[in-house]
Chain A
Amino acid sequence: MRFKNLQCRECQRKYPAEAIYVCEYCFGPLEVIYDYENIDISRESISKGPLSLWRYKPLLPVHTDSPVTIGEGLTPLVRAGNLEKELGIKELYIKNDSVNPTFSFKDRVVTVAVSRARELGFDTVACASTGNLACSVAAYGKKAGLKTVVFIPADLEKGKVIGAGIYQPHLVGVKGDYDQVNRLCGELAGTFNWGFVNVNLRPYYAEGSKTLGFEVAEQLGFRAPRQVVVPMASGSLLTKIYKGLKEFEELGIIDEAGTRFFGAQAAGADPIAEAVRKDEDIIRPVKVKTIAKSLAIGNPADGYYAWNVIKKSGGYAASVSDNEIVEGIKLLASTEGIFTETAGGVTVGSLKKLIEAGKIDPDLSVVIYITGNGLKTQEAVEKSVSKIEEIDPSLESFKETCPWAG
């Protein structure tokens, strides 16, 4: 057995690998414990694996040989030459995870969580979501043939409501912000025997994010990047990318690179970045206010762990305003041809700030994680797109509006 226990990250108590998510003793989060001695994985086995993130299956907490998959992962890692010039750095890559089956990185965690849910015998999967997770759980729930219940804040962007609703889940709009949706789902998870992917399946779910560490290393020719910039809401993604790189290092798949971790947050929801800047390990919950709804978490469950990775890796964190988020989205689109959602604007905006502040070394490699698709948050950039030049269907009319042509 590659894994059979969960363990509390705080007090180290062990639990069986079932659908439990907090330590009964101290309420700390539980994490899957692997028996690394019994894990058989190498550069060669990975390279021969399926063209999805399931090529890393030995390091994922699922036993089944037929996971619930829609071809998630193995998204492009693109060298960003134009953005390098614009920002004055030497080696920049974009991990474009906006092209997953439901257009965000959440498919990585959901393929693992729903596969595990089916393995544990649940007939219903559910989630609390800021939007992207809703889309993903709705899709994978249907693919798995399970009943699907999705909870979102009632005021979510249209692109995400449609992106989830098209799969015909039971879609619930909660009047409140994400932290309130989350609180409600915490209560519901104790009431119904459902697989809540980010509540009672969280230890399995979160492991899916490690594949963003594995994949980037593989795509760089089995080496770790020297610096990464990761968007943060709950802080889970950053923590798991770190874990993914560490596992690869410890299994000898890559050399140790001392990767420095940089966190990116929206200014109206930045309790982790604030703690990094103040250099104190207390994450103070905030009332959120930002256009980056996918990052609008005021009470980050993994905040302390993300803070810890940033600190011990020698990284830093930035937060960006709504205006800087929109500028970040425009900058990425107009230099690299990648249209990202507001969370990606946060990441690009933070990259720029961290370079300007001298926190990121311009001579060493940088990977930024773009986790969601721009078509889902069109409201944010409606006023920032090219204006349509209306013309008559004639050559003259076109020449009038486009004097530089020919």
Chain B
Amino acid sequence: MAKVKIPQPLRNLTGGNNEVSLTGSKVGEVLSELEKEYPSIKERLRDDEGKLRRFINIFVNGDDIRHLEGEATPVSDSDEITILPAIAGG
């Protein structure tokens, strides 16, 4: 089960949980599980075409999936997936 860290703006949809453990061998599969368990999260993460929204960043063990294989990035049980909104510079 990969761990998914839920950002604060989405925690009201996960019953306050800031971390959820889910199955799946790729990032996309784990996200589908998340969307199944908490159906209202889907429209937050994805646009009308089902693509991840522009301002959502997903990291596997700290690496942005856009530098990896996107939603096809493989994940194992020990991996940690973090969902975060984009943040301004500094």
Q: Which residues of A approach B to under 8 Å, CB–CB?
A: 10, 21-29, 106, 127-130, 132-134, 176, 178-180, 182-183, 185-187, 189-190, 197-199, 202, 205-206, 233-236, 284-285, 287, 297, 299-302, 304
Beyond A24-B9, A183-B82, A187-B84, whether A284 also contacts B66 by CB under 8 A is yes
Q: Is the CB of A25 within 8 A of B44?
A: yes
| B39 is an interface residue with CB less than 8 A from chain A | no
- The residue in B62, B82, B85, B88 that gathers the most chain A C-beta atoms within 10 A of its C-beta is B88
Q: Is the CB of B84 within 8 A of A183?
A: yes
A-B pairs, top 3 by smallest CB distance, nearest first, are A234-B89, A190-B8, A133-B90
Residue of A nearest to B55 (CB): A27
> A80 to chain B: closest CB distance in Å?
26
Q: A22-B9, A187-B5, A190-B8 known; A27 and B88 CB under 8 Å?
A: no
- Residue in B10, B55, B82 whose Cβ sees the most chain A Cβ within 10 Å: B55
Whole-angstrom distance from the CB of B30 to the nearest CB of chain A? 18
Q: Which residues of B contact A134 (CB under 8 A)?
A: 90
List the B side residues contacting A233 at CB < 8 Å.
89
Q: A127-B90, A299-B86 are in contact. Are A183 and B59 (CB under 8 A)?
A: yes
Contact size class for B?
Answer: 20 to 34
What is the CA–CA distance of A206 and B11 in the complex, to the nearest angstrom?
A: 26
How far does the alpha carbon of A215 sit from the alpha carbon of B11 in the complex, in Å?
42
Q: Is the CB of B55 within 8 A of A190?
A: no
23 A-B pairs, CB-CB below 8 angstroms?
A: A22-B85, A23-B9, A24-B9, A26-B55, A27-B86, A28-B55, A29-B86, A178-B90, A183-B84, A187-B5, A187-B7, A187-B82, A190-B8, A197-B90, A198-B88, A199-B88, A236-B88, A285-B64, A285-B66, A299-B57, A301-B86, A301-B87, A304-B54
Instruction: Point out residues on B near A: beta carbons under 8 Å.
Output: 5, 7-12, 18, 44, 53-57, 59, 62, 64, 66-67, 82, 84-90
Q: Give the shortest distance, in Å, between B59 (CB) and chain A (any CB).
A: 6
A327 to chain B, nearest CB (A): 25
Q: List the B side residues contacting A297 at CB < 8 Å.
A: 89
B64 touches A299 (CB 8 A): yes
Q: Do residues A129 and B55 form an inter-chain contact, with CB atoms below 8 A?
A: no
At the interface, is chain A mostly helix, strand, loop or mixed? loop
- Assuming A183-B82, A190-B7, A190-B18, is B89 touching A236 (CB within 8 A)? yes
CB-defined contacts of A178 to chain B, threshold 8 Å: 90
Interface centre among B62, B88, B89 (most CB of A within 10 A): B89
Complex: how many Å from CA A102 to CA B41?
A: 43
Say how far A61's CB is from chain B's closest CB, in angstroms: 15
Residues of B within 8 A of A300 (CB): 89
Contacts of B11 in A (CB 8 A): 190
Question: Cα distance A57–B4 when bound, in Å?
Answer: 43
